[in-house]
């Protein structure tokens, strides 16, 4: 590079001429990239000064059309007769299945249905089936005595007294029995020679009206003229009853009408004596029995 004043060649890096002292003016090399950057900056500052060629190029650029997506409902196909029949068949099947399920649910959980079926089978003399339906009815509605009463009737007709007694005793335990059921059970007890069970049956009844009605089956227990205890001499006891006869045992077993008939005072033996006695009415009904214990000591 030469000095503009004296023409002396300047050394690189010097800002003054060594010969004349003239300041050196540095002219940068042309860079087209710098020019483009300057033009763009100028365009941003004054967008209206863009060259016509640039705007033309932009205007001539093809515009890409936007794709518009539309979601239209697919057109429903017309149902053919075959397809209609197929759908109708499914609907009928579902209807029948639902009805069957509903009927089975009703049948298995309906007391009325079970009871009616039991009556039908009873009329047809299919007793085992009738009993099955009655037992199911009692499970569904244990507080209703109708099924129990019908079951007792069937067992009685079939001469299955033990089964009838079981049902009647259950009705009494559950508080479902009326006077009629009590009297029916008393009849079975008398037939089976279970007369000694009748007093407890009546006395255990909590319904005072029923107990009053059943008082005709009650017999007063016998009494004794000598209190139980230890005696140091020979003694005899006398048994008393308001009505009926007295039967007794010496071994502590339960007395019946087949035991010793009381006809005169009983002489007690030396040692321990256990006497059980019961009163029996003319109709064969028993009282509650009494137990008497005595000990006779003669060597004291």
Domains within the chain, CATH numbers bracketed: 1-45 (no CATH), 107-217 (1.25.40.10), 223-296 (2.60.40)
Please say if the pLDDT value at position 253 is more than 80. yes
Name the range with the highest mean pLDDT among 14-18, 40-44, 72-76, 201-205.
201-205
Instruction: For 158-183, give one letter per residue: b (16+ CB within 10 A) or e.
Output: eeeeebbbebbbebbeeebbeeebbe
Instruction: Measure the CA–CA gap between 298 and 277, rounded to whole angstroms.
Output: 25
Please tell me the distance from the alpha carbon of residue 210 to that of residue 39, in angstroms, as a whole number: 123
d(Cα 93, Cα 54) in Å, to the nearest integer?
Answer: 77
CA of 131: how far to CAs of 122, 136, 181, 188, 285, in Å? 8, 9, 19, 21, 33
Pairwise pLDDT comparison (92 vs 114), residue with the higher score = 114
Question: Residue 118: in which H helix or E strand, if any?
Answer: helix 111-123
SS3 51: coil
Conformational region of residue 117, where left means phi above 0, alpha means psi within -120 to 50, and beta covers everything else: alpha
What letter would DSSP give residue 252? Answer: S
| pLDDT higher than 60, residue 278 | yes
Question: Please, are residues 235 and 220 in contact by the beta-carbon 8 Å criterion?
Answer: no
Residue 179 contacts residue 187 (beta carbons within 8 Å)? no
Residues contacting 129, CB < 8 A, separation 6+: 121
Which percentage of the chain shows pLDDT scores above 90?
A: 62
pLDDT(275) > 50? yes
Q: Whole-angstrom Cα distance, residue 116 to residue 101?
A: 20
% the chain with pLDDT above 70: 74
């Amino acid at each position: 590079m030469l000095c503009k004043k004296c023409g002396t060649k300047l050394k690189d890096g010097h800002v003054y001429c060594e010969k004349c002292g003239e300041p050196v003016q540095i002219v940068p090399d042309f860079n087209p990239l710098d020019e483009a950057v300057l033009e763009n900056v100028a365009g941003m500052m004054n967008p209206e000064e863009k060259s016509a060629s640039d705007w033309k190029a932009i205007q001539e650029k093809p515009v890409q059309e936007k794709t518009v997506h539309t979601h239209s409902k697919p057109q429903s196909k017309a149902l053919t007769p075959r397809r209609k029949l197929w759908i109708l068949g499914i609907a009928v099947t579902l209807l029948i299945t639902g009805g069957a399920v509903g009927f089975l649910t009703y049948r298995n959980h309906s007391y009325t249905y079970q009871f009616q079926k039991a009556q039908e089978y009873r009329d047809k003399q299919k007793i085992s089936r009738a009993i099955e339906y009655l037992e199911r009815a009692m499970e569904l509605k244990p507080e209703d005595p109708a099924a129990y009463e019908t079951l007792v009737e069937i067992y009685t007709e079939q001469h299955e007294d033990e089964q009838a007694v079981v049902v009647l005793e259950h009705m009494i335990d559950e508080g479902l029995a009326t006077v009629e059921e009590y009297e029916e059970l008393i009849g079975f007890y008398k037939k089976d020679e279970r007369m000694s069970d009748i007093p407890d049956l009546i006395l255990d009844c909590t319904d005072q009206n029923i107990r009053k009605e059943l008082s005709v089956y009650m017999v007063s227990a016998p009494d004794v003229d000598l209190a139980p205890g230890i005696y140091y001499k020979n003694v005899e006891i006398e048994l008393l009853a308001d009505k009926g006869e007295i039967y007794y045992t010496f071994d502590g077993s339960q007395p019946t009408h087949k035991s010793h008939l009381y006809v005169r005072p009983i002489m007690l033996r030396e040692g321990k004596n256990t006497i059980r006695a019961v009163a029996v009415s003319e109709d064969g009904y028993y009282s509650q029995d009494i137990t008497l214990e005595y000990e006779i000591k003669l060597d004291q």
